[in-house]
Structure 1
């Protein structure tokens, strides 16, 4: 009988703990949504790209979209392509 009581308390403890964690996560999610309501991702991305353009060598920037160029492997060997693929399809051969 005592074991059943202890087992019930343990189960109850884990249920309450799970509900408590769930409530804490919901509160964090709600707070994050409230902070990010007015956040303009597109404007921030453009600002970051413009700042990075001052520090990244020009040969590493895509001439079409200012994305970063990176080495990729394709069916015909290695090439340099834009990291914004598939939105930007600029490529050039490895020199």
Structure 2
């Protein structure tokens, strides 16, 4: 392999490493949220579907605990599905040619 070929190879590897680094940063930044129960519950999750924040309105005192639990779970599932979609979109970009990004 010539010096020029080696330089070109190293440049391609560095460029690919930058893409991977950017991908990792984008994955770490994923946040998705969903609202439930007439807007009185909002939940936020990260790219792995872990809950990062939960907001409950003060007006929830009249809601049955089981109904509230189900609302939180439903909102968490919707938020996690949105985060998973974003995760898939970002990872899918890795297989696109660089000129298409």
Larger radius of gyration: 1
Q: Which has the higher contact order (CA 8 A, sep 6+)?
A: 2
Greater percentage in helix: 2
Shorter-chain TM-score range: 0.3 to 0.5
